[in-house]
Each structure stands twice: as C-alpha cells, then as structure tokens.
Amino acid sequence: MQTIKGPGIFLAQFIGDQAPFNSLDSICGWAAGLGYKAIQLPTTDARFIDLHKAAESKSYADEIQGVVQSHGLEISELSTHIQGQLVAVHPVYDDLFDGFAPEAYRKNPKERTKWAISQLHDAAKASQHLGLNAHATFSGSLLWPLIYPWPQRPAGIVEEGFKELAARWLPILDSFDKAGVDLCYETHPSEDLHDGITFEMFLERVGNHPRANLLYDPSHFILQGLKYLDFIDIYHERIKMFHVKDAEFNPTGKQGVYGGYQNWIDRAGRFRSLGDGQVDFKSIFSKLSRYDFKGWAVLEWECALKDAEVGAAEGAVFIKDHIIPVTNKVFDDFASSGTDASFNQSFLGLS
C-alpha cells in the first residue's frame, strides 16, 4: 500500500485581484505557509499558467515548475473544468456558458466547442511537460435539461447524446494516452457524467478507454443521495484523483434535492468547509488507502457560511490529520509461528 499524498489545495476558488491571490508566486507562498504540499492549478488565467504555451514549450513548463518548487510545493494536477464544460453544451445554456469562453468565441457555439477541445489537447501535452500523471476536467452536457423524465424523453435521445459526447472526447482521450496522463472526470451535477451509471454509459461508448477515469468528490454524492462509500468499492480502479470537499443534506417538509430554486445558503443541500458537513472522511481515507490510491488529497473549498481563508487554513490541518500513514507489515507478525510449506502439507494431512 501507499500513503495518500497531501495536503493539496485547488486554487480555483482563491485566485483574485488582490495579493497574495493575484500571481502564481504569491499564492504559492500563501499555500505553503498554511501547510499545503501541492497546488492543483486551474488553466483559465494566464497570470498563473498559459496553457497553450505550456503545451508548446517544455522550457516554459519548467519555469512554472520552478516557481512552484521554490516554495517547497508540487503541482498535483492541472484543471480544465471550465474548458471541459464547453466541450459539450446544450443550446439552452449557450448564453450562460458564453461567459466561460474568450470573447472571440462567444455567440458562435461551434467555434467555442473547437476552442474548448483544443484546450484539452493542450492540457494533455502541458501535463506531460510538467511531469504530471493525472488531469481534472468536466465532461460537459448535452442532456442535462432532460435530467428529469418529464416531459417524456424522445426515444433514443439519451443514446444519441452519449454517442456524440463520446465522439467529442475520444480523440482527447487518445491525446492523454499519448501523453501518459489519466483524464479524470469530476462526476458533478449539470454534467452528463454525474454518477456511476452515467460514467459507465460513457465508458462503454469510448471502448473502456484506459485514460477515462474519475475525480472522486463525495460532496456531490451527498447532494444526490448516492452512497459515496460504495462508489469507492465499485470504481476504485478508475479513481485517480480526490477532491476533499464537505457537504450536508438536510431535507425538510418544504424542500429536498432540487432546492426550491433557493440560493446556496437556503438550500437543503449545501457545500461546507471541511469538518462542518456530513461526509465521513475517516471512512473515505480508509477505503482509498485500502485500495492503494496513489494520488493527492486536494482541498476544494466551497462553503456558503465560512470565510474562504479560514476554510483553507483549517483544511490543511484537516487533511493532514486524516491521511493514514500505511503500514509495511502485518500487525500480528509478532505471533507468527514461522511455519513453511512442508509443515502446511503435514498439518493438513496431505503428506
């Protein structure tokens, strides 16, 4: 077994215009000062990393690594959640998701999709240049407006949606395979890949591609009412990344999973800072350790109540305290009888 690496921190929720959150150097100093050992780096802000340049230039990637390593940190993974979202967008969301794309591609869904796909190809090469072995993304969604089966779905539309989704992602998966990097989909509401069933439907259509893997985030399963510990037992061979994020689900007589169109603070299901929600992290860390998870435990901080910097400071300690230093021997070795194969044969009456 291997001890889970960490703590790491996903920087997406912390990047801003004020120091120390406005440059790679200063935010790395901040993260290291809190006790983090790695950063998970989003790729939509060129102040932190120019994704295309990192794909084209190994020397530039080395410069990025140098800045990070100067603070005693590693890059755990790159993230293209935003670009992955834009690989597949149902037309009803075009105007809303246009804000995620560069201005040149807005009001032009086909060109926006081409740009997003090119970003994923860049991410494969950039990850290779940085010496990384996993990458985080979303699948995007062509079918989310049909999540509830009323009005009745047209016959074959789900199959057609997954066929198209697979067609868009298969060349990307091949690029990641060529780069030697696992592509990890965060199974997330609003994505076509949002639970185990949808992941299996996708996996079948991409030929069980070896690079089609999972970013495990139990908070999204709390909000769906999914058994998040069983998910590890079922899919541990495909789980290559881990977001440590807490959540709570407190249904009432007035609202449940769908939340009544309320803001996050007023929903039955809410994301919370680590330790403030309902996720059983002791069991999660135990299961992942038991299955020899080789990746990083990375804080993704989201909370409707607590201050972000407080959550980040508490999160480093929380993750550190939950990582299990795995043993290299059996606890009852002291009681070994020291027998051998011939004794076993004799004891069983076989010789």
Residue 123: other Cβ atoms inside 10 A: 31
What pLDDT is attached to residue 14? 98
Q: Which SS3 state, helix, strand or coil, does residue 331 take?
A: coil
The mean of the pLDDT values for the chain is 96
Residue 123 pLDDT grade (very low, low, confident, very high; cuts 50, 70, 90): very high
Backbone angles phi, psi at 216, to 5 degrees: -85, 120
Task: Name the nearest CA neighbour of 42 among 110, 100, 96, 108.
Answer: 100
Domain 5-348, CATH class in plain words: alpha beta
Residue 339: other Cβ atoms inside 10 A: 10
The token pair at 23 is 């440059």
- ω into 149 cis (within 30 of 0): no
- At 288-317, the pLDDT tens digits run 999 999 999 999 999 999 999 999 999 999
Q: Is the pLDDT of residue 263 over 90?
A: yes
Q: What is the mean pLDDT of the segment spanning 265-275?
A: 98
Residue 331 pLDDT grade (very low, low, confident, very high; cuts 50, 70, 90): low
Residue 57 pLDDT grade (very low, low, confident, very high; cuts 50, 70, 90): very high
Q: What is the mean pLDDT of the segment spanning 109-125?
A: 98
Q: Is the pLDDT of residue 330 over 80?
A: no
Direct distance between the N- and C-terminal alpha carbons of the chain, in angstroms, rounded to an integer: 36
Written as one letter, the residue type at 176 is F
The token pair at 274 is 């680590």
β-sheet bridge partners, residue 89:
141
Provide, rounded to the nearest whole percent, the portion of the chain with pLDDT above 90: 93
Residue 166: other Cβ atoms inside 10 A: 19
Residue 95 pLDDT grade (very low, low, confident, very high; cuts 50, 70, 90): very high
Q: Is the pLDDT of residue 339 over 80?
A: no
What pLDDT is attached to residue 134? 98
Contact at 8 Å (CB) between 7 and 35? yes
- At 166-220, the pLDDT tens digits run 999 999 999 999 999 999 999 999 999 999 999 999 999 999 999 999 999 999 9
Rounded-to-integer distance, Cα 307 and Cα 292, Å: 34
What pLDDT is attached to residue 341? 87
